[in-house]
Every structure is written in C-alpha cells, then in structure tokens.
C-alpha cells in the first residue's frame, strides 16, 4: 500500500491544513507497524500526523507537540477501543514514548527522554 512501510503512506500523515508538510519519523512508523501486527493486523487510521505550527495552534495542540516534529500520530485501530490500544502501548513501551488517552483515539509519539502519559484510564 504505502511508500513509508507496508501499511502506511506518507499522505496519511500529511498536515491537514494543506501545506503539504509530511515528514514522518521512521521510529514512529516502526511502532505503528508493530502495533498493527500485534493487534491482529487490523487497519490503523491516522486521525492526525504531522502538523505545521499554524495548524497545531488551530487545533489547540501544545506548542511543544511531537506532531510538529513528525514524531506523533493520533490513531484509531479497527475493532479496538482506544483504551485497549493505549493499554497495549503502555504495556509494550512502559519505559519510553508518549501515550495519550482520549475518548475516540489514542495518541502515540516517539519522543526521546522520559516517557509521558496522560488521559488516565478511560
């Protein structure tokens, strides 16, 4: 399917404002491919990937958002509740990355340094 990996295309990560920014960190793609394989090879929808500063501000993103660096994605996995996806990611990557819990999606980012968690158990 994709030009980034077997299941992901650069266009899926492109900034939604239309500016064309679509530089995605390779480690994020590896995490998403691993997630897909681990969850019965279910399709993953990228709700939000790369964001330019303008679009990030428009959607209320943090000024230090990993989306600005191409290191984050807000995702949904077909057939799985966002809390199940977050549980899996937190178990697998307990000592790294950023994982956020939301009602309709899960945020994952491949930040360096200390892990970050937010949203609590939904």
pLDDT at 122 over 90: no
Residue 14 lies in domain: 10-118
Q: What CATH number did the domain enclosing 78 receive?
A: 3.30.1380.10
pLDDT higher than 60, residue 1: no
Per-chain mean pLDDT for the chain: 95
- Structural domain includes residue 50: yes
101 DSSP assignment: E
Write down the pLDDT at residue 113: 92
Q: Is the pLDDT of residue 36 over 70?
A: yes
Residue 48 lies in a domain: yes
Q: Is 89 part of a structural domain of the chain?
A: yes
Q: What is the chain's alpha carbon radius of gyration, rounded to the nearest angstrom? A: 13
In a domain, 1, yes or no: no
Assign 23 a pLDDT band (cuts: 50, 70, 90).
very high
Chain-centre distance for alpha carbon 26: 12
Q: What is the pLDDT of residue 2?
A: 62
What is the enclosing helix (H) or strand (E) of 54? Answer: helix 53-58
Q: Is residue 94 one of the residues assigned to a domain?
A: yes
In this structure, is residue 4 part of a structural domain? no
Confirm if 46 and 13 have CB atoms less than 8 A apart.
Answer: yes
Domain contains 72: yes
pTM for this structure? 0.93
| pLDDT tens per residue, range 51-99 | 999 999 999 999 999 999 999 999 999 999 999 999 999 999 999 999 9
Q: Hey, what are 86's tokens?
A: 């977050």
Task: Report which of 10, 109, 43 is spatially closest to residue 2, judged by C-alpha positions.
Answer: 10
How many structural domains are present in the chain?
1
């Amino acid at each position: 399917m994709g030009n980034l990996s077997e299941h992901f295309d650069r266009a899926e990560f492109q900034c939604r404002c239309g500016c064309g920014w679509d530089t995605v960190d390779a480690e994020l793609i590896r995490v998403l491919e691993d997630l897909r394989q681990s969850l019965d090879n279910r399709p993953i929808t990228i709700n939000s990937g790369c964001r330019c500063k303008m679009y990030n501000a428009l959607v209320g993103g943090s000024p230090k958002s990993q989306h600005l660096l191409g290191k984050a994605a807000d995702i949904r996995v077909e057939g799985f509740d966002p809390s199940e996806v977050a549980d899996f990611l937190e178990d697998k990557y307990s000592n790294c990355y950023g994982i956020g819990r939301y009602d309709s999606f899960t945020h994952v980012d491949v930040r360096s340094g200390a892990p970050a968690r937010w949203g609590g158990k939904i």
